[in-house]
Homo-oligomer: A and B are copies of this chain.
């Protein structure tokens, strides 16, 4: 696996890089960003995965996420993948919430999506191997977080892989894709009409079906336009209550769905993860 360095900047006492590689999962070039704080030559640092939301690629959080100061202070590697395969030869949809930029962290089973839209396997298998081989990462200490569609990704990937991640958090996650328009459209499109096939891509359904993590941290803006129609944190709250999962759900009045919200609580989340990555 060859890794091409697209860009590299000195920032906040570390190195912010953007990298590209040919993915065997998506059969496209994939681009992602990694921040590595300064560290001892042989040192290996814990890593935080950040999964982005609809329409985003790696650059949104890289430019607007305000994570570098805290990562440098706490000694955390921060990895921001893309949200889907991209390219002229990759199927797409005119809507912002399906196709390129909207991979929903699933392995699609339906034509024409199944050939390229394998973001689950990309995030769960291919990219971790690439990170382990190319960065000073301690793969025994991983955390995962995400925003909106990426919050859904972080929660479902953590719930399916409880031994891999020491902690999981989310900003305004899509809590129950089975029960919101974004989720029903995406899961129906990528996975077909059988809703049983969707359950491994729904945090609440995974919990109902027995998946467990010890605890979850969620921040949710009270002024978020998508709160009631798409995000539905009360469903996650109910599922966690029933399952005995310690969910810390912080409603943040007035904050919306943007990076002005995410960046406000990014350092908080990173500190919370760092305390669990020791």
Contacts and interface: CB of A to CB of B under 8 A. Distances in A.
A64 interface: yes
Contact of A260 (B11, B66, B253): B11
A256 B68 contact: no
A10 B69 contact: no
Given A10-B255, A256-B9, A263 B68 contact: yes
Copies of the chain in the assembly: 2
A264 B223 contact: no
A221 interface: yes
A261 interface: yes
A221 B258 contact: no
Interface in A236-255: 252-255
Interface string A66-107: 101100000000000000000000000000000000000000
Given A64-B63, A263-B68, A267-B69, A221 B11 contact: no
Contact of A223 (B10, B64, B69): B10
A95 to B, nearest CB: 24
A230 interface: no
Given A9-B260, A10-B221, A11-B264, 9 more contacts: A9-B261, A10-B255, A10-B260, A11-B260, A11-B263, A13-B264, A16-B260, A68-B263, A68-B264
